[in-house]
Amino acid sequence: MPLVPQEHLDEVREELVRARRAGHRRLLVVYSDDDSRLVTVALDILYEIRDLVRGGEILYAYHSFYSDGAMRRELFAKGAPKDIDIEYISFQNLDTILGRTYNGCIIDLINNLEPNDLGKLMGVVRGGGLYLLLTPTPQRMLESVTRFQSNLIVPGYTASSLKKFFVRRFLNKLSEHDGIAIYDADSKFFVKKFPRQTVEPQAERKIVYPEKTKIPLKVFKLALTQDQVEVIKNFEVLYTKSEKKKVFVLTADRGRGKSSAVGIGLGWLVHKLRRAKGRCRVVLTAPNETNVQEVFRFAGKVLEMYKHPLEIRTESDYIVSIESKGIELVYLPPLEAMKTRADVLVVDEAAAIPVPLLFKLLDRYDKLIFSSTIHGYEGAGRGFSVRFLKRLRSREDIDIIEYEMEEPVRYASQDPIEAWIFDTLLLDAEPATLTDEDLKAVRNKEVIYYAPDEATLFLKNEKELREFFGIYIMAHYRNNPNDLGIMMEAPHHFIRMVKTSTGKVVVSLELAVEGSLGPELSRESAKGAWLMGNIIPDRMIKHYKILDFGDLKGVRIVRIATHPHVMNQGLGSFALAKLEEEARANGYDWIGAGFGATEELLRFWVRNGYMPVHLSPEKNPVSGEYTVIVIKPLSERAGRIVSIIAREFKDKLLDSLPSPYYDLEPEVALLLLEATPRFQTPFSIPLLKKARFLMYAWSDMTIENCMDVMSALAKYYFKAPNPPELTRLQKLCLVTKVLQAKSWHATLEDLKISMPQVTSELKEIAKIFSKAFLNVYSPEEALKYFFLTLKDLEENI
């Protein structure tokens, strides 16, 4: 006999029948603090609707590393209907099911509520399917500490310090949205019933295939929507010959079948190029290989239709390459994709890759497909559209095709569960629309630095929250729902913003308190232990071993972003100045930040008085950037420590430019060297070395014969308190050819100049160094060093 009363089961069944007519999903939350009761209710519901969900798989997501989570899964599996296919997956493996479609999904949220997990799972159920969320009671959810939250409890804070705003938002949004019911399993009572609204039957999808096309009908018939047909048709343009680069830019909300459509079109394009050229190589790149699995799968389907025997290579259950005679499709991380060549480059989730790296990829390939999600857990693509497409359209050497998909593949438009997840995770947040009055306020500097009440911002002031978070979505290439969760839950994070006098948010700041570690934690860090939530103190103590830094208390700027329509108007600098005032007043010792080192971004921080103090030893494989940490000391003690660290960093950087920083952009390296302190240091060159160098500077010896001396002089030049004047190009020549020890070819490529020009500049630098550091001002004065005797060497003239 079921635990759930039949009339309640009937309600769920009737609502699911209505949802199927509309092609929409439904979500039922079942809560209890009794594990066995939760499982029993879930089984009762599944038995009631099994005829509606049969014919496809049901997904059951749980936490395998919690014993009670594994126990509930076993209990459910024992009682589950035998005529329904159920796939069980642990949350840490969710990436393996992306792109799959299920008739229903049971989500065990007892042990954890993580925004990213919700973002991934809320796209896998087809229209007419049911999500069943198993949760503790609301009271227990607010009192307990989840795994996600426990990782946010950093030294100096306890579980009672957690803010719990995301949990409250989650509960509030479940109550607000249509298509959702909430069931109290303990009281056998619907806290919220499915809203009874008029349901319009789902319109039959009519797909019109192109009449005049090179692509066969059998390929188009793999498409499920008209949008997908249009995407596939655009691959014809990529096949045609052109003197210009051909770029296809595809954007879509999640669940529109973007990756599968790209895969279908790509499979046909590869087949045609293989026939025309005898071979075809395609590079697929994305933040990680999980993003391109659907592209691989559907490209493989089309190639098999054309009878190409495929050799598929996988790593950790993910496809990483497909090969056949004359055909290769291979996944490479963005940084590796930049170092190779291919007939076609596919960049999936392009919004998650920095714009400078996208342009480097663009310069390397002739046929490119940039595909990106606009709203989804993978990140948001509006910033990609604003920052990348605008510049792309201005290029005269590019034929660009643009298409935005709108029609969902798995469910009908206006799906209430999509509306709920977009709202809950702010996936569709946008910056404020700025009027002429708002823009005038910015121009006149009529802006205020504002510290919002976080309970009001996160739980009540939805408009301001969306304006605040929407700026991040526009400005940052790496966004995911966990960023929102951290902001709302972490006890050491806090929010500031800059608003116009008209009330619009134009700068968003997320900040974190770090430091005040005490001697014991500082010593642990110095020995190599990882200090949670203390990124800057951890790096400073690990790399420089100055334990005193752990005593200091600072503010790390986690993220700062300006509204895209009012950038470069001083708002970011205004926000930093006001933050500095606030931090000084509250007794903080320093403010700092860590970010991917680009010249533009680094220049912003240096201009605002921040000192570079650390550079990661490896590039981020997705962004292709080294991470730099900058600090602005506020107290006298912090100033002394940071000065010592910055000097040591400069010394280390000068000696590390050949390796590991050989591929650091010369402009970034130069900015780091010029932004760090200059200081008096002993300098001398033995006579024989001096003679060799002067022969290069004032006669006909080549630089290769005295690179050791040139390198020593270059290092001294960047340290010297009063160095001689060099042009920017001369400094870049020093960095690239001398300090990074790059080949002539690499130097010319980096600096975009000719061989005669770079050799001339280096020769001129040698003469300047000769005058400034060696007191030799002419060929005549250098001449005495060209004819040395044993006596000269012994007397060391």
The answer, yes or no, to whether residue 565 has pLDDT greater than 60, is yes
278, 326 contact by CB (below 8 A):
yes
The answer, yes or no, to whether residue 209 has pLDDT greater than 60, is yes
Residues 109, 12: one domain?
yes
Any domain includes 756: yes
pLDDT at 476: 63
pLDDT at 465: 97
Any domain includes 429: no
Residues 389, 447: one domain?
no
* Mean pLDDT within 559-575: 94
pLDDT at 242: 83
The answer, yes or no, to whether residue 349 has pLDDT greater than 90, is no
The answer, yes or no, to whether residue 199 has pLDDT greater than 80, is no
CATH of residue 117: 3.40.50.11040
- pTM score, whole prediction: 0.89
pLDDT at 383: 60
**Residue, of 149 and 1, whose pLDDT is higher:** 149
Any domain includes 201: no
Domain tally, the chain: 4
Maximum distance among all alpha carbons in the chain? 110
Residues 317, 448: one domain?
no
Tens of pLDDT, residues 655-682: 999 999 999 999 999 999 999 999 988 8
The answer, yes or no, to whether residue 378 has pLDDT greater than 60, is no
Tens of pLDDT, residues 288-305: 888 899 999 999 999 999
Residues 34, 162: one domain?
yes
Q: Using the 3D structure, point to which of 134, 159, 192 is the last residue of a domain.
A: 192
- Selection from 182, 68, 60, 51 nearest residue 128 by Cα: 51
**Residue, of 292 and 199, whose pLDDT is higher:** 292
Tens of pLDDT, residues 508-525: 999 999 999 989 999 998
* Mean pLDDT within 446-459: 97
Any domain includes 426: no
3-state helix, strand, coil in the chain (%, to 5): 50, 20, 35
Tens of pLDDT, residues 466-486: 999 999 887 765 678 999 999
Cα–Cα distance, 37 to 55 (Å, whole number): 27
Residues 375, 241: one domain?
yes
Tens of pLDDT, residues 94-118: 988 877 889 999 999 999 999 999 9
Cα–Cα distance, 94 to 482 (Å, whole number): 15
Any domain includes 680: no
| 82-86: Cβ within 8 A, 24+ apart | 83/50, 83/54, 84/46, 84/50, 84/53, 84/54, 84/58, 85/56, 85/57, 85/58, 86/57, 86/58, 86/59, 86/60
Annotated binding site: 228, 410, 560-562, 600, 607
Tens of pLDDT, residues 582-621: 999 999 999 999 999 999 999 999 999 999 999 999 988 7
pLDDT at 793: 84
Tens of pLDDT, residues 328-341: 999 999 989 999 99
Residues 625, 719: one domain?
no
pLDDT over 70, % of the chain = 98
Q: Using the 3D structure, point to which of 159, 192, 225 is the last residue of a domain.
A: 192
Any domain includes 197: no
Residues 597, 709: one domain?
no
Cα–Cα distance, 736 to 710 (Å, whole number): 13
Lowest mean pLDDT among 72-81, 154-163, 385-394: 385-394
pLDDT at 693: 96
* Mean pLDDT within 454-462: 96
CATH of residue 335: 3.40.50.300
Residues 235, 116: one domain?
no
Residues 671, 691: one domain?
no
The answer, yes or no, to whether residue 581 has pLDDT greater than 60, is yes
**Average per-residue pLDDT for the chain:** 92
Q: Which domain holds residue 623?
A: 436-675
pLDDT at 54: 83
Residues 442, 580: one domain?
yes
Burial of 164 (0-12, 13-18, 19+ CB in 10 A): middle
20, 52 contact by CB (below 8 A):
yes
* Mean pLDDT within 81-87: 92
Phi-psi bin for 574: left (phi > 0), alpha (psi -120 to 50), beta?
Answer: alpha
Tens of pLDDT, residues 249-286: 998 887 888 999 999 999 999 999 999 999 999 999 99
Cα–Cα distance, 431 to 469 (Å, whole number): 7
Annotated binding site for acetyl-CoA: 560-562, 600, 607
Cα–Cα distance, 33 to 92 (Å, whole number): 24
Tens of pLDDT, residues 220-250: 999 999 999 999 999 999 998 888 999 999 9
Q: Using the 3D structure, point to which of 405, 424, 453 is the last residue of a domain.
A: 405
CATH of residue 456: 3.40.630.30
pLDDT at 189: 94
Any domain includes 738: yes
pLDDT at 477: 54
In terms of DSSP bridges, do strands 245-252 and 367-373 run parallel, antiparallel, or are they unpaired? parallel
Any domain includes 719: yes
Tens of pLDDT, residues 122-151: 989 999 999 999 999 999 999 999 999 999
Cα–Cα distance, 222 to 216 (Å, whole number): 11
pLDDT at 593: 97
pLDDT at 609: 97
Annotated binding site for ATP: 228, 410
Residues 641, 733: one domain?
no
Residues 561, 630: one domain?
yes
The answer, yes or no, to whether residue 377 has pLDDT greater than 70, is no
